[in-house]
Structure 1
Amino acid sequence: MAGLDDLRRAAGVEFDFAPGAQVPLSSVSSGKTGVSHAIASVAYRDVAPKDICEANDAASFKPGKFSLLEPNLGEAFTRAVEVRMLADDRKPLIQSFGAEPQMVVEHALAAKRIRKQRDTRLTAIMLVFGLLFLPGVLIWLGLFQLRRTIAGAQDKRAGAFGMALLVLLCGLIVFLVLQLPVTGVLQIYVLAMLPAPILGWFLARQISERTAANLRAHWSDLLGGGGAGARIPEAVPQNPNDADAERLRLGLAKLAAEQGSNLVHYAGPKGILGMGVRWASWQLAEELRPKNPGREIDPFRSWDVARAMYDQLRMLERGPLHTGGFSAPSITHWVVRHVREDASAVSRPEGPNAEGYSFSNLEVQRICNEQQFGSGDRHYLGVQFVLWDGELVVTMMITVTVLHHTLRIEVTAHALGPIHDFFRKGPDTRTKEIRNPLRPWKKQKQPLPLVDAKEVVRLAARAPLTWFPARLDAFGGTLALPEPFGLRHTWATKPWNHRFMVDDALRAATPVLRVAHAAALRVLDEHGVDIAPFESRSQALSGQVQTAEPKHADRYNM
């Protein structure tokens, strides 16, 4: 159990197995469920795995050895999320501001559980009909694999010729089976060898159809704003020695702990990963001079100014008038670390000053006071608004530096836009047009089964291998997620195409800027600094953010 102890320390959890534990349900966090449900719906989808590349072309699907064993998008996404976010040796994740990554992972596990129940029944069917009539099953699987290979031909003439060849091959196999020189019980077995798998296919189709309807119902419910919480009883230890459940439970705890980390990464033109690109910056930089001639300035540090700003910014949601006003912001002292624009991984806090996935308060204060020039991490005070049910994340980052006699207060604005429209696509209704038997001059739509013949064969062929996921990945293929990976920023688009989202981002800047400046001026005045130059510059900046100069409306250099 040494590995589990390491997981507990990494996750920052101390609790052990307790009898009577309940089945965990997805957490519900106001303002973030819309985006979380949209991303979680991918785990229930039955479309091609390459479709997700529409949302981000950095995602890719690596085909396996056999196209017959290729997963659909829901299966591939579930497997990729589980490996990337719950594995013991996984790389660090980017925080998902505006979404709940634990909710997405829980739905992925719930979708896996639904499919596992289906695959258990399909495996039983494959054991009965596959082992007893193995030669016939191998013949049918070979024909379906050949059919999928032919269907992938780009030349239509080659494809038509291949289909004709396939029909001819089927007839030849039947002829050879009938001509085998066998009698008695063996003859009955040979005659049943080909039709018996068809009976197994019929049973498998009923199971697959019910599961497909269940998965699509979850898909629709999540996009419709409803949907029950994901049930993952396999994450509840049944006894103190249930290592698999304990590992899964701690993996979810690690995910929640990492989401609360106070370390973020600045990737150059990509902006702060998870917060979006920087679209504006305002700087106040003036000389520190004593208010009273002949007296020195009372000593203070950058942290004193940052802490005063923090206290004052907590009052942003209050105002003199009874209006809608600001929603409650999240105010955090961030440690910002630089990474390359094309970096494939990020780092976690390390060293004696790290507490789990975050830096200690003393280390944050030290970085704020001492690391203002040259290499190393930097301190920023962040004010974050999660708006539009998580579709828009507006973050104002404030940094205070003192170099020689100059104090600089810089306020930068970052915006993370809505997720790609791909995640809002619901399940399509599968129909075909037929002529009305009573009125042949009219056509009508007839619903088709959710699972067709080749899909039943694919599911039945994959079912026994789902007990060996690593082997199934090699045979069927895997989905590679974009790196550095975070469930929210990976699929984000630009917010500048939505008029009201742009307005919200622009309106948040002025109050934050003024509150930060007012708090800083109060600290400077208390420590004997001449604040006249700072006040003049602050008023000039306030005028800049509300300027009426003619500009290119609705166009931003992003």
Structure 2
Amino acid sequence: MGAVVAADGFDFSPGAQVPLSGGAGQTAATQALASAAYRDNPLADISKADSATAKSTIKPPKLSLFEPNLGEAFSRALQLRMLGGARGALIQSFGIEPQTVVEHCLAAIRIRKIRDVKLTVLMVGFGLLFLPGVLLWLGAFQLKKLLSKAQGTGTSALGVALMLAVGAIAVLFLVKLPFTGFWSVYLRAMVVVPVIGWWWAKRISEATAKDLREAWKGLLEGGGVGAKIPEAVPKDPNETAAEQMRQSLAKLTAEQHSNVAFYAGPNGILGMGTRWGSWQMAEELRPAVEGGEINPFRSYDVIRVIHDRLRLLERSPLHTGGFKDAPSVRHWVVVPVGEKAGSVSRPEGTEVEAFQVRGHEIERICNEQQFGSGSRHYLGVQFVLWDGQLVITLLITVTVLHETLRVEVTGHALGPVNPLFTSKPAPKSKSVSKTVKFWETKSVSLPLVDASEVVRLAARAPLTWFPGFLEFLGGKLTLPEPFGLRHAWADKPWRHRFMADDALRAATPVLRVVHSAALSVLKENGVDIARFDSRSLVLSGQVQAAEPKKADEYNA
């Protein structure tokens, strides 16, 4: 198949397969988020996992009988937001592989779709022909759900009475009817046949629930459960839907590796976390020889040397400890957006290719855009630790205003994903009193899918072919904007002692390498480094402080 080029000029053909940095050691956070696609928790649980700066929105159902659970709503929301044709720009998800998470969402949707096809056939066979009886049972279960939510408000007794009345009417239909002949048989079947269909639907739902829970458990236990999405693999050039999905997944991965980030005021750089520390070395540029001159140099000359020195961070004079893996060192273009911005847009034009700002444009921004409006250049060194649960980013910027050179290092930290995503499936059971030794209790296993859940799944199944209408009736999950899969559900790392230690420890060697590299450039170009050296020693002491700050919040 020939290369496929999108309308925006991006080539989505595979091309040369080059390993991308930062992909290793990110399995725990990736698989934790991917497990949400298979979960059967209540949708309301997602609100407990939202980060402080990104809040999800749940549209309440018009009929609770059609309300989705967490896995259904999460998979659908991510499918539309990450692969939708009209989707907006995404925030990079550092520490995870978002394509893997989306693939598991598609795989979960596929598993549920197979189940819904079977349930739809049952609804047609057992429900359409006996529609009055189905509506009667659905109304009873809808009434039960409404009354269960209203318990404690004085309506529970009325609910019991109404349910008993419905049961009495059903028994009356079975025992004695005012009709004879065909209508007598039909009315009796109208009550019984939906129950037979429910029993069959229960078996189908139980089997699917086991498959979903096995995938959920396998991901969290590191079993390497792969996502099966054959609909994303085109078998011939005429399969436009599969080709479009393949392109969307490729575009998602390309945007993940963009070198453009967004700064949102006190919310920090989106995807990297808030700024917890800032160390600035700013002194006057004076010639080393009195009456002499300084050799002309530019900000990017200093940045280039710092970049080369940072790539050697994993080397140590001692054969003990140290950084196990080389950190990712790359240039960033940071675009300012509002603190409460509802969306972001990536730069476009001839200087941008495949979401990457070209090297010569990065150099121009570094040298020229240091004051006033516009994007800024930062050199970033990023550590992905704890299997992707901790992302430490230290950003370096060099500016020159008049005769003052400023070297600034800022620390950002993104903590682990919320514990909601790391909880394993618990077997459904309840404690009951023993028959003889009634003062003792025993645990009784419950079915994975209870009666109400079977009715919910069967009622939703025919409407899954019309997802817009199903969301209108049952509600949906709206993801926080600007949306990034990782930072939307990240906790702060400071609650974890070892993670906090790692973030604080990483800053010291980075700061010293940055200062050493900057001083070497200044010395080579005839600058008096005495004041810079003194300032560097002061900052080396400050960086060893054992507490993070809120560096993005100023007391005015």
TM-score tier, shorter chain, comes to over 0.9
Amino acid at match of 1:83: L
- Once the two structures are TM-superposed, the CA of residue 344 in structure 1 deviates from its matched residue by 1.4
Q: Return the letter of the residue paired with 1:46.
A: D
Q: Secondary structure at the match of 2:333?
A: strand
1:306-321 paired onto structure 2 within 5 Å: 306-321=303-318
Partner of 2:253: 256
Structure 1 stretch 497-506 or stretch 47-56: which is displaced more?
Answer: 497-506
Are 2:27 and 1:33 aligned? yes
Check conservation: 1:49, 1:71, Cα contact below 8 A.
Answer: yes
SS class of match (1:68):
helix
Counterpart of 1:55 in structure 2 is: 49
SS in 2 for 1:337: strand
Q: Aligned partners of 1:507 and 1:381: how far apart in 2? A: 19
On the 8 A contact 1:285/1:408 being kept in 2, the answer is yes
Contact 2:34 2:101 in 1 (8 A): yes
Q: Given that residues 22 and 384 in structure 2 are in contact (C-alpha distance below 8 angstroms), is that contact kept between their aligned partners in structure 1? A: no
After TM superposition, the score normalised by the length of structure 2 is 0.92
Structure 2 CA distance for partners of 1:348 and 1:557, relative to 1, 3 Å: closer
Query: Is residue 371 of structure 2 the alignment partner of residue 373 of structure 1?
Result: yes
Indicate the residue corresponding to 2:446 in structure 1. Answer: 448
Distance 1:244 1:272, change over 3 A: same
What stretches of structure 1 move > 6 A for 4+ residues in a row?
A: none
- Is the CA contact (8 Å cut-off) linking 2:22 and 2:95 kept in structure 1? no
State which of 322, 325, 337 in structure 2 corresponds to 1:325.
322
Q: 2:353 aligns with which of 328, 352, 355?
A: 355
Choose the corresponding residue for 1:420, options 410, 418, 421. Answer: 418
Counterpart AA for 2:88: K
Letter in 2 for 1:14: S
Residue 74 (structure 1) aligned with residue 71 (structure 2): yes
Secondary structure at 1:351's aligned position in 2? coil
Aligned partner of 1:45 in structure 2 is: 39
- Listed one character per residue, the Cα deviations across residues 89-147 of structure 1 (whole Å, up to 9, x for unaligned) are 11111111111111111111111111111111111111111222222212211222222
Superposed CA RMSD in Å reads 2.1
Q: TM-score, normalized by length of structure 1?
A: 0.92
Give the AA of the match of 2:474: G
**In 2 relative to 1, CA 28–137 (structure 1 residues): closer, same or farther, beyond 3 Å?**
farther
Amino acid of the residue matched to residue 194 of structure 1? V
Residue number in structure 2 paired with 1:6: 6
Provide, for residues 400-433 of structure 1, a one-character-per-residue CA deviation record: whole Å limited to 9, x for no partner: 0011111110111111112222222222221122
Structure 2 residue aligned with 1:92: 89
**Aligned positions of 1:79-158 closer than 5 A:** 79-158=76-155
Paired letter, 1:82: Q
- The Cα shift of 1:446 comes to 0.9
- Mean alpha-carbon deviation: is it higher for 271-280 or for 535-544? 535-544
Unaligned runs of 5+ in 1: 17-26, 548-552
Confirm or deny that 1:290 pairs with 2:287.
yes
How does 1:89-238 map onto structure 2 within 5 Å?
89-172=86-169, 175=172, 178-184=176-182, 186-238=183-235
Contact 1:44 1:218 in 2 (8 A): yes
Structure 2 CA distance for aligned equivalents of residues 480 and 378 of structure 1: 32
In 2, Cα distance between the equivalents of 1:487 and 1:367?
Answer: 29
Q: Does 1:301 align with 2:295?
A: no
Q: 2:382 touches 2:393 (CA, 8 Å); kept in 1? A: yes
Quick check: 368-377 or 422-431, which moved more? 422-431
Contact preservation (8 Å) 1:8, 1:250: no
Deviation per CA, 1:192-246, whole angstroms, max 9, x where unpaired?
1110111110110001011111111111222222241211111101221212111
Is contact 2:275-2:550 (8 Å) kept? no
* C-alpha deviation, 1:435, in angstroms: 3.5
State which of 464, 467, 470 in structure 2 corresponds to 1:469. 467
Which of 498, 501, 505 pairs up with 1:507?
A: 505
Q: For residues 198 and 176 of structure 1, do their structure 2 counterparts lie closer, same or farther at Cα, with a shift above 3 Å needed?
A: closer
Deviations 1:349-368 (A, max 9, x none): 22221112121111111110
More moved, 375-384 vs 461-470: 461-470
CA-to-partner distance for each residue in 1:64-88, whole Å, 9 max, x for gaps? 3211111011001111111111101
* Amino acid aligned to 1:72: N
**2:170 touches 2:191 (CA, 8 Å); kept in 1?**
no
* Structure 2 spans left out of the alignment, 5+ residues: 16-20, 552-556
CA positional deviation for 1:462: 0.6
Aligned residues: 538
2:155 counterpart SS class: helix
Counterpart residue identity of residue 197, structure 2: G
Contact 1:129 1:196 in 2 (8 A): yes
Instruction: Report SS of the residue matched to 2:501.
Output: helix
Q: Is the 8 A contact 2:6 2:12 kept in 1?
A: no
Aligned-partner Cα distance in 1 for 2:104–2:188: 46
- 1:359-399, CA deviations, whole angstroms, 9 ceiling, x for partnerless residues? 11111111101000000000000011111111111111100
- SS of the residue corresponding to residue 166 of structure 1 reads helix
